[in-house]
Amino acid sequence: MDHHLLHELEHLLGHDGVLSRPEDLLLYEYDGSVEIARPQCVVFPAKTADVVRIVELSNRYKTPIVGRGAGTGLSGGALAREGGIVVSFARMNRILEIDIENHRAVVQPGVVNADLSLAVAHAGLHFAPDPSSQRACTIGGNVSENAGGPHTLAYGVTTNHVLGLEMVMPTGELVRIGGKAADAPGYDLCGLFVGSEGTLALVTEVTVRLTRLPEAVKTLLAVYDRVDDATETVVEITARGITPAACEMLDGWTLRAVEAWVHAGFPLDSAAVLLIEVDGLREAAEEHAAQIAEVCRLHGAREVRVACDEKERDLLWKGRKNAFGAVGRLSPTYYVQDGVIPRTKLPETLREIDRIGKENGFEIGNIFHAGDGNLHPIILFDARDSKQFQRAVSTAEEIIRFCIKMGGAITGEHGVGMEKDRLMPFLFSEADIALMKRVRDEFNPAGLLNPGKIFPTGKGCGEVRVRSQRNGAETDSTHEESSPA
Amino acid sequence: MPGLPPLTHEEAQREFAETLSGFTAGDKPEYADYSRCIHCGLCLNACPTYRLWHNEADSPRGRIRQMALVDQGRLELNEAFVTHIDRCLDCRACETACPSGVEYGKLVELARAQIAKNFKRPRTSRWIRNFVYRRLLTDPRHIARIARAMRFYQRSGLEAIVRGTRILRLIGMSKRAELMPRIDREFFFSRLGKTFPAQGERRARVAFFAGCLAQVTFTQLNDATIRVLQANGCEVVVPADQFCCGALAAHAGERDVARELARKNMKAFSAEAFDAIVTNAAGCGSTLKEYAQLFATGREENESTDDAERAAEFSRGVRDVTEFLSDLGLSARMREMKLRVTYQDSCHLLHGQKIREAPRKLIRAIPGVELVEMPLAEQCCGSAGVYNVTETATSMELLKEKMRNAKSTGAPIIVTANPGCMLQLRAGAKLHATGQDVLHVVELLDRALTNA
């Protein structure tokens, strides 16, 4: 890294605000995904003005720049794929304003998702997007990735809860879009920037909508002996016009892994469980819960349990929200995929995933937001065996391609990042991608902001890197990419 | 693309090739343990030091990564590594947050064992560590001797004179002086070897673990614990030849010392069978319950596994006093006390032993007592064994936040479950003038009893 740049950054932020020693940088080469990429320095702005200066410096020294929240992302969005400066927003973590009456809050990007909900809980409000990492992930990161979560089904994803943004553009200007009003005049730019995976601007302030906590919540656990019965239940619930607040499925393999850790009461001998939640006014919630229980039984649920208190409800959710981590107990390296299909295709898709797994010699666990058809197949592999790893990647790809065939998409909520850029051509035509690139180039003309993300690198082959913990090396594996479907 | 290319793995290897060190054999973080960390980051916001500085290097995920890197020879066991591992409170809040079940406490203690073995600290630091962990804590006679000298200092008027001068502030000791415990007039040592009968029908027979420094600074607490147990139908035996539990030594990486103490305690408590071995110190309890871990690593190849098995057997009998009483059920009559209290979770009770409800249940069982939860009760107060002495500035920052939260409840009493936390919170109440009293759960129960 250019010494002058480093010197200027230190001058701006102090020694405490810049990391550049190799031993520190090694701790910013990872996030929650299997990707690896190391920056050349990490900076901690304390205020918006710092971010403006950092962007100016990145331009002057032609050095890439990447924003980072808590580093819990699952597609490598916060990694410096082409080196450069990582801007950690972790210290810009103040809640600037809470407007209880109007259900609005203005926060800095480093505020932790769950901390905002905690801060407004006394008024019966919360910030609705609830990714599984909500106890650690930041709102800035949620905005960049347009994070979802189990309650997306009824409450929508992050973009539905962001009303305004203050951003530093890659060219250095400070702009504000949207505002506190529900539908700001002019173009709906929030919709464009939320979910842009940190490639269009660095967000320095977020105005969010706060949502009233429901009057009543009913959480049901339905236990099945056949996976098909569970998936068909999901299709039928929505066909009846009921929209649950959440509808999650864990298959037998996954729930056994979870149960060993959480003891949520998932029956170990079952093939699948559905975790369904309805909320709203007391009478409506009860009515819907009863209807859902009926549908579950009609479709062969051997048991339908309704959580009788807050504690039991928390326990069931703890089981779900800790599911991926619980899998880590079985195998230190696993690959969580993220695909979307129309929910009517669930039974068929799950059968196919099972078939693909068997064919490739993998046991694949399934855990997903069944209500909106967002799948998370989990493939366990041993990172020390590079052949096995390559096969895991190609298996995952086969699954994603099947999702596309079913009319779905390559990612539901984890983002494209550096994980799925090479899969984009399977879903979009050249013209589609060219349009998206034009948008990026308009705002990020020099390509210095979060380079190497979303769009295929165009090398004709995908490069996947994964960390193998034993030898500390990254296994670089290159595999042939067939022509786009 | 403009800009400099990122380092490739080969470059990274070269970068560290000259300084390859790794860990040495024996007590060290093992692949099977650290590879359980899937770097999901769910621990970050639970970690007190990450919450303060927001640097990965001072987060559980980052510390585990550093251990892995050292183990793999990609990072030197140097001052930077030592600093980040030293700064860990070992509060284990990350274990509660971790979905993968990483045993972080075990990892950090093993990393510290490597540091103790392979890193040369400055001479004074070495001398102090050697004295405290190898001589003072291992021998009750040393503890008594030093306690008597300190008692003289505190009660002869000498302390008042020193505090009257500016000496403490000049040598940067004024805050540490606040943390210094008041030495008891009478030491608990005189109770060793005695048996205290149950009141009424005997419901259980327990052995009491008295602690080391607690015997000269928390005699009242120990006495109160015995009284509460007696009042609830327990016969309490205080085995004579018990020693320090070894927690402070184990946390500091002095595992051979901890093992030696563990062997002595296992012997002292094995003479007869008890329904439980009860302690009122969450920190000690956590270590006593994990004695087997001490013997799981660092064993010579042909050494027997007897100690590990005996340790596991011993640990099965250990109960925190709140856990024990809550399971047994309170049978003593208690008077009504119109009191509002708040509870500070002791880290080694909540995160180390996973006990959250028992102390709350006991507090609520006292007629008239209202328990008001403070925000972030599960966050460490900064006491953390000897952390408030070794990392005073950080500890004081955490304490400030803790006292702000404790004060916000409006409760005049802060209840907790560990002597170390009590000292820290008392210092906090004084430094931040919150006017709050600090009690152990059993002291609160004892108050309800004694005035019945």
Do A402 and A450 have their domain in common? yes
Calculate helix-pair angle for B79-86, B60-71, nearest 10 degrees. 140
Structure tokens at B437: 């009293």
Q: Is a pLDDT exceeding 50 seen at residue A483?
A: no
pLDDT for position B13: 45
pLDDT for position A332: 66
Q: By residue range, what is the domain housing residue A203?
A: 95-212
Per-residue pLDDT of chain B (452 residues; tens, 9 = 90+): 333 344 444 444 444 444 454 898 889 998 888 988 889 999 999 999 999 999 999 999 999 999 999 998 889 999 999 999 999 999 999 999 998 889 999 999 999 999 999 999 999 989 999 999 998 889 988 899 989 988 888 888 888 888 777 777 777 777 777 778 889 999 999 999 999 999 999 999 999 999 999 999 999 999 999 999 999 999 999 999 999 999 999 999 999 999 999 999 999 999 889 999 999 999 999 999 999 999 987 666 666 778 889 999 999 999 999 999 999 999 999 999 999 999 999 999 999 999 999 999 999 999 999 999 999 999 999 998 889 888 999 999 999 999 999 999 999 999 999 999 999 999 999 999 999 999 999 999 999 996 44
The total of other beta-carbon atoms located within 10 Å of residue B320's CB is 30
| Distance separating alpha carbons of residues B374 and B355, to the nearest angstrom | 17
- Compute the half-sphere exposure of residue B264: CA atoms within 13 Å on the CB side of its CA: 17
Do A106 and A183 have their domain in common? yes
CATH of residue A53's domain is 3.30.43.10
- Compute the half-sphere exposure of residue B226: CA atoms within 13 Å on the CB side of its CA: 19
Asked if B62's CB is within 8 angstroms of A325's CB, the reply is no
The total of other beta-carbon atoms located within 10 Å of residue B157's CB is 9
Region of poorest pLDDT, from A218-222, A330-334, A354-358, B195-199: A330-334
pLDDT for position B17: 44
Do A306 and A423 have their domain in common? no
In a domain, B422, yes or no: yes
A212, A237, A271: which is the final residue of a domain?
A212
Q: Is a pLDDT exceeding 70 seen at residue A468?
A: no
Q: What is the pLDDT of residues A54-91, one digit of tens each?
A: 999 999 999 999 999 999 999 999 999 999 999 999 99
pLDDT for position A125: 97
Give the DSSP H or E segment for B167: helix B167-170
Average pLDDT over residues A450-462: 73
The total of other beta-carbon atoms located within 10 Å of residue A288's CB is 23
Average pLDDT over residues A167-171: 97
The neighbouring-strand residues paired with A367 are A250, A376
Do B210 and B317 have their domain in common? yes
In a domain, B3, yes or no: no
Which residue in the set B74, B76, B100 is minimally distant from A325, CB to CB?
Answer: B100
Nearest to B377 by CA among B44, B46, B58, B42: B46
CATH of residue B234's domain is 3.40.50
pLDDT for position A484: 35
The dihedrals phi and psi of A41, each to the nearest 5 degrees, come to -160, 160
* Residue recorded with tokens 């030594």: B249
Q: Is-contact B90 B109, C-beta < 8 A? A: yes
- More confident of the two residues A55 and A480: A55
Do A102 and A81 have their domain in common? no
In a domain, A485, yes or no: no
In a domain, A414, yes or no: yes
pLDDT for position A459: 45
Nearest to A410 by CA among A392, A394, A424: A424
Strands (DSSP E) along A169-252, which ranges?
174-178, 202-209, 211-212, 216-224, 246-251
Do B131 and B112 have their domain in common? no
pLDDT for position A265: 85
Do B132 and B113 have their domain in common? no
The whole-angstrom distance between B110's CA and the closest CA on chain A is 18
Q: Which of A26, A28, A31, A336 is best to mutate for the B interface (most B CBs within 10 A)?
A: A26
Which residue in the set A32, A37, A446 is minimally distant from B6, CB to CB?
Answer: A37
Do A71 and A7 have their domain in common? yes
- Looking at beta carbons, which residues of chain A come within 8 Å of B45? 70, 112, 114-115, 135-136
A70, A88, A106: which is the final residue of a domain?
A88
pLDDT for position B300: 62
DSSP B321: H
443-482 in A: which are within 8 Å (CB) of B? Answer: 446-448, 451-452, 469-474, 476
Asked if B38's CB is within 8 angstroms of A332's CB, the reply is yes
Give the DSSP H or E segment for A19: strand A18-19
Structural domains counted in chain A = 4
Structure tokens at A15: 């020694």
Do A340 and A476 have their domain in common? yes
| Distance separating alpha carbons of residues A211 and A160, to the nearest angstrom | 11
In a domain, B28, yes or no: yes
Nearest to B385 by CA among B252, B269, B190, B228: B252
| Nearest-by-CA chain A residue for B94 | A136
A179, A212, A245: which is the final residue of a domain?
A212
| Distance separating alpha carbons of residues B189 and B173, to the nearest angstrom | 30
| Distance separating alpha carbons of residues B93 and B98, to the nearest angstrom | 9
Taking the Cβ of residue A131 and every Cβ of chain B, the question of whether any pair is shorter than 8 Å is answered with no
- Looking at beta carbons, which residues of chain A come within 8 Å of B80? 21, 23-24
Structure tokens at A46: 């304390």
Output the CA torsion B146→B149→B155→B161 (10° steps). Answer: -110
pLDDT for position A458: 57
Structure tokens at B251: 């946390």
Share of chain A above pLDDT 70, in %: 94
Do A367 and A381 have their domain in common? yes
CATH of residue A259's domain is 3.30.70.2190
pLDDT for position B229: 98
pLDDT for position A172: 95
CATH of residue B396's domain is 3.40.50.11810
Q: By residue range, what is the domain housing residue B363?
A: 334-450
What is the pLDDT of chain A when averaged over all its residues?
89
Give the DSSP H or E segment for A138: none
- Compute the half-sphere exposure of residue A201: CA atoms within 13 Å on the CB side of its CA: 29
Do A417 and A453 have their domain in common? yes
In a domain, B49, yes or no: yes
Q: Which of A1, A19, A20, A23 is best to mutate for the B interface (most B CBs within 10 A)?
A: A23
DSSP A241: T
Please name the residues in contact with A13: beta carbons below 8 A apart, sequence gap of 6 or more: A43, A44, A45, A46, A50
- Looking at beta carbons, which residues of chain B come within 8 Å of A91? 54
B118, B136, B152: which is the final residue of a domain?
B118
Q: Which residues of B122-146 are buried (b: 16+ CB within 10 A; e: fewer)?
A: eeeeeeebeebbeebbbebeebeee
Q: Is a pLDDT exceeding 80 seen at residue A466?
A: no
Structural domains counted in chain B = 4
Do B278 and B362 have their domain in common? no
CATH of residue A425's domain is 3.30.70.2740
Q: For residue A254, give the amino acid letter.
A: T
Average pLDDT over residues A5-13: 97
In a domain, B4, yes or no: no
Q: What is the pLDDT of residues A136-150, one digit of tens each?
A: 999 999 999 999 988
